[in-house]
Amino acid sequence: MAKSKATITYISSIEDLSQVTKKTKRIVLAGSGIAPASLEAQGDEKKQGTADTGKYIKQPDIYSKAYLGLALPIGKRLKVRLLKHVAEKLVKQKHVCLSHDLIINWVRKNRKLFSKNVCIVACFNDGNGNVPIQIYNFSGDELVGFKEKRISVNYASSDLRQIINAEKEHYGECQTIGCGTPEMMAEESIQECFYETYGEQPFQEAKPKIPIVLKRNKNTSEIASIVFMLGIAALVLFATDGVQNARFAQEKQSYQTAIQGIESVINKGGASIELLQHKQYYMENISTQTQHEAHLSEILGAVYQVRQELTTTKAVLKTLSYSADGSLSGAEDREYDFVATLQINVGREENVGDSLNAVTGFMGRKLGIKLDSLNRPIVHVKGGINTVVYRIAGRFDEVGK
Amino acid sequence: MKFYLKYLVYLSLGILGLTVYYSYKLHEVYEIKINQQKAINQNAEQIKATWQGLQPTIDAWKSSFVGITSVNSLYELNKVLGLHSAGVNLSASSMFEAGTSAISYQGVDLGLVSRCVKNKGNGFMIQSSNLENALNVLSYIEHRLDLSWNEVTLSSSEQGFQLQFPSLCVHLRVLEGEE
């Protein structure tokens, strides 16, 4: 792969950011060059056992020109982790290289971005032909396990590969960040080592697997989230409309089935039902009128029995008027169901009252009702026989005494 | 791009929220419509059940009352009276209309028209040779739901027995095919 001529700007302080131009493709933030306090403490402890380590710690200027061997594209997440006024300078740059302590701090702060163990291999040329290798790894959320190894510059490539592989073997699937001096990282053998490790050249392809890939995945995941959310929205809307519409259609279908054969009744809004119920009540009411004939038969039967049992009266029914609604007028504004006009023989005239009482009482008892005499009886004499025509009336709802 | 992604996510969340909200509202509207339809269905079922329960009344109504459109003359009205079935022969030529009125029950127009007839100046008279026949005629009239009378006078004379009504009325069905 042909190398492009990258413009690299080394920045040791905030003031150096003024050097950044639109043409700057990579920025190396050299950082303070001082290891974190915790690392210094670790170094102090190790100083007693390892002279090289102690020397290394005591000469922080070694770090001053160190930079990560990965060119990290400027991303929003990375930007906000930097100071705002620094980030503002970097935002237009395509790539930036950060010093090891910045990247370590950044990694520590962005622990959640790393799903696996992280091995950080920082290697620097100490100027004496040796390359100190610093190895970090995460344990939980803490960046621990600081180790230091030293390899020869002459065998840096092969030794570095061994170290990286050994760390991978020890920690399993770990992501690796390498860093070193510009001179060292310019060596093709070192670059090849990282190339094999990362699958791409550290300077040429600014597409590290971590953590920028995760950020790019974030973009993808954001787009996927958008699509997912819009899909969910459409699904919810579609499902709601579809399900409810189907339920409503089913109810309407049930209605069509329910009204089958009675459409005209339904259209009249129940008026037909009400009318029909009144028809039923009406028919039940007029059916009870059939008792009128029975009443007439009772009256006729009573007259017949008068004739049979009170033989001297020779009672004759002249007329029998019957009202279906009990509205026959009578004496003293009373209304009756029937009025019968009878002719009876009374014998002697002084017996008229007794005869009439006998007939009226007899009929009343037979009918089970109280009967009224409606007119003053008039005695007719015919052939020497006194006859009386008189009217009696009654109501069937008045029980006789 | 990332700048816009953030707002696109917010926008999508907003759209999702709005969609869920309006889906819920849509669901509510549908629920109201479905419940209303259910109530209508239930009402229709009740009407249908009531209607089916009243079917005997419908049949009885049709068999008891002749449709008015089939009675266009006194001759046909005399046939509807059907007194010949009770052994009484009456000539339609002696009949005349005594009035027409609508029948209502408990304030409801039943769809019946009462056509009243007379055959004498003072009423409708039926002559019978004996009391038994007279009572048979009266029984026949009474059992006919489509015939009505308010008052009857039974009297005897040398010719036999007479039943005299102020008028005799035939009830005819007006509302055809409402069932």
In a mutagenesis test of the A interface, which of B4, B15, B19, B156 is the best target, namely the one with the most A β-carbons within 10 Å?
Answer: B19
Cα distance between residue B51 and residue B45, in whole Å: 10
Model pLDDT, residue B143: 86
Tell me how far apart the alpha carbons of residues A328 and B140 are, in angstroms, rounded to a whole number.
23
Give A194's Cβ-side CA count (13 Å radius). Answer: 30
Q: Residue A103: which pLDDT band, with cuts at 50, 70 and 90?
A: low
Chain A contact for B162 (CB, 8 A cutoff)? no
What's the pLDDT score for residue A322? 92
Q: Which of B 117-136 lie inside 8 A of A, CB atoms?
A: 131, 135
pLDDT the model gives residue B80: 92
Tell me the CA distances in angstroms from A390 to A185, A304, A367, A378, one per residue in order: 150, 17, 18, 7
Confidence bin at B166 (pLDDT 50/70/90): very high
Q: Higher confidence at residue A133 or residue A117?
A: A133
Q: Check if the beta carbon of residue A117 is closer than 8 Å to that of residue A174.
A: yes
- Kindly determine whether residue A276 and residue B105, on different chains, have CB atoms separated by under 8 Å: no
Query: Across residues A308-319, what is the average pLDDT?
Result: 85
Question: Distance from first CA to last CA of chain B, Å, rounded?
Answer: 74
Please determine, for residue A401, whether its predicted confidence score (pLDDT) is greater than 70.
no
ipTM of the complex: 0.81
pLDDT tier, B12 (very low <50, low <70, confident <90, very high otherwise): confident
Residue range A223-264, pLDDT digits in tens: 777 788 888 888 888 888 888 889 889 988 888 888 887 777
CA dist., res. A138 & res. A116, Å (int): 9
- Rounded to the nearest integer, the mean pLDDT of chain A is 64
Minimal CA separation from A47 to chain B, in Å: 46
Q: Where are the alpha helices (DSSP H) in A172-290?
A: 182-186, 188-198, 212-258, 263-267, 271-287
- B-facing residues of A in 208-267 (CB < 8 A) are 219, 222-223, 225-226, 229-230, 232-234, 236-237, 240-241, 244-245, 247-248, 251-252, 254-255, 258-259, 261-262, 264-266
A283 → closest Cβ in B45, B145, B179: B145
Q: Quote the tokens at residue B146.
A: 């489509």
B chain contacts of residue A258, beta-carbon cutoff 8 Å: 41, 44-45, 48
DSSP B163: E
Q: Which of A265-274, A352-361, B159-168 has the highest mean pLDDT?
A: B159-168
Q: Do the beta carbons of residue A13 and residue A85 sit within 8 Å?
A: no
Q: Which amino acid is at B79?
A: K
Amino acid at A260: Q
Question: Tell me, what's the pLDDT at A11?
Answer: 45
Q: Phi-psi region for residue A133, left (φ > 0), alpha (ψ -120 to 50) or beta?
A: beta
- Non-local (6+) Cβ contacts of A263 within 8 A are none
pLDDT at A52 over 80: no
From residue A80, give the alpha-carbon distance in Å to each of A75, A109, B125: 9, 12, 118
pLDDT of residue B78: 92
Q: Chain-wide mean pLDDT for chain B?
A: 87
Tell me whether B57 touches chain A (CB under 8 Å): yes
Residue-wise burial string across A190-210, b where 16 or more C-beta atoms lie within 10 A, e elsewhere: bbebbbebbebbbbeebebeb
Q: How far apart are CA B172 and CA B113, in angstroms?
A: 5
**Cα distance between residue A98 and residue A109, in whole Å:** 15
Max Cα-Cα span within chain A: 180
- Residue B66: its pLDDT value, please? 92
Angle CA B61–B65–B70, to nearest 5: 130
3-state class of A395 per DSSP? strand
CB A56 within 8 A of CB A148: yes
* Nearest residue, CB atoms, B44 vs list A233, A259, A279: A259
Tens-place pLDDT, residues A186-233: 556 655 555 454 443 333 333 333 332 223 344 566 677 778 888 888
The SS3 of residue A147 is strand
Any CB–CB contact under 8 A between B37 and chain A? yes
Flag whether residue B110 sits within 8 Å of chain A, measured between CB atoms: yes
> Measuring CA to CA, how many Å separate A306 from each of A299, A311, A349, A358, B109?
11, 7, 20, 9, 46
Look at the block and give the residue holding tokens 């001297």: A312
CA distance B131 to A297: 10
Q: Which of residues 296-315 of A touch B (CB under 8 A)?
A: 296-297, 300
Nearest by Cα to A31 from A55, A63, A70, A72: A63
Smallest CA–CA distance from B12 into chain A, residue: A226
Asked if residues A219 and A212 have their Cβ atoms less than 8 Å apart, the reply is no
Residue A22's pLDDT band (boundaries 50, 70, 90)? very low
- Contact call for residues A103 and A71 (beta carbons, < 8 A): no
Least reliable range by pLDDT among A68-72, A129-133, A171-175, B119-123:
A68-72
- At A12, is the pLDDT very low, low, confident or very high (cuts 50, 70, 90)? very low
Task: Give the model's pLDDT for residue A141.
Answer: 64
CA of A258 to nearest chain B CA: how many angstroms apart?
A: 6
Using an 8 Å CB-CB cutoff, list chain A residues near B30. 240, 244-245, 247-248
CA torsion A61→A64→A66→A67, rounded to 10°? 160
Q: Does A92 touch chain B (CB under 8 A)?
A: no
Please tell me which residue, A110 or A337, carries the higher pLDDT value.
A337
In 3D space, the residue among A102, A66, A34, A60 whose CA is nearest the CA of residue A185 turns out to be A66
pLDDT of residue B65: 92
Closest CA to A315 of A285, A356, A274, A265: A356
The Cα of B151 is separated from the nearest Cα of chain A by a number of Å equal to: 4
Q: Minimal CA–CA distance to A12: which of A35, A33, A40?
A: A33
- Non-local (6+) Cβ contacts of A127 within 8 A are A62
Closest Cα in chain B, distance from residue A260 (Å):
9
Q: What is the pLDDT of residues A63-75, one digit of tens each?
A: 333 333 333 333 3
Position with higher pLDDT, A299 vs A99: A299
Q: Which residue has the higher pLDDT, A245 or A90?
A: A245
Test B152 with A75 for CB contact under 8 angstroms.
no
Task: Phi first, then psi: give them for residue B167, nearest 5 degrees.
Answer: -165, 155
Instruction: Please check whether residue A91 is in contact with residue A79, taking contact to mean a CB–CB distance below 8 angstroms.
Output: yes
- Rounded to whole angstroms, how far apart are CA atoms A345 and A85? 143
The residue length of chain B stands at 179
pLDDT at A267 over 80: no
Q: Which of A270, A297, A328 is closest, CB to CB, to B135? A: A297
Model pLDDT, residue A119: 56
| Partners of residue A300 in chain B, C-beta under 8 Å | 131, 135, 154
Verify whether the Cβ–Cβ distance B40 to A285 is below 8 Å. Answer: no
**Model confidence at A143, in pLDDT bands (50, 70, 90)?**
low
What pairs with residue A119 in β-bridges? A137, A176
pLDDT of A42 > 70? The answer is: no
For the cut 90, the answer to whether the pLDDT of residue B115 exceeds it is yes
Report the pLDDT averaged over residues A4-14. Answer: 44
Give all strands (DSSP E) within A45-101, no chain letters: 67-68, 72-73, 95-98
C-alpha distance from A282 to closest chain B C-alpha (Å): 6
Q: Which residue, chain included where needed, has tokens 């005494």?
A: A401
Give the amino acid at A384. G
User: Which is it for the CA torsion A4, A9, A10, A14, positive or negative?
Assistant: negative
Q: Are strands A385-399 and A378-382 parallel, antiparallel or unpaired?
A: antiparallel
Classify residue B123 by its DSSP letter: B
Average pLDDT over residues A157-171: 73
Report the residue from A226, A247, A266 with minimal CB separation from B12. A226
- Max distance between CA atoms of chain B, in angstroms, equals 124
**Which residue in chain B has the smallest CA separation from A304?**
B131
**Cβ of A400: how many Cβ atoms within 10 Å?**
14
Verify whether the Cβ–Cβ distance B47 to A262 is below 8 Å.
yes
3-state secondary structure of B105: strand
Q: Which of A31-45, A144-158, A304-318 has the lowest mean pLDDT?
A: A31-45
Residue A323 touches chain B, beta carbons under 8 Å: yes
pLDDT tier at B43 (50, 70, 90 boundaries)? Answer: confident
**Amino acid A266: pLDDT:** 73
Chain A hits for B131, CB-CB cut-off 8 Å, are 300
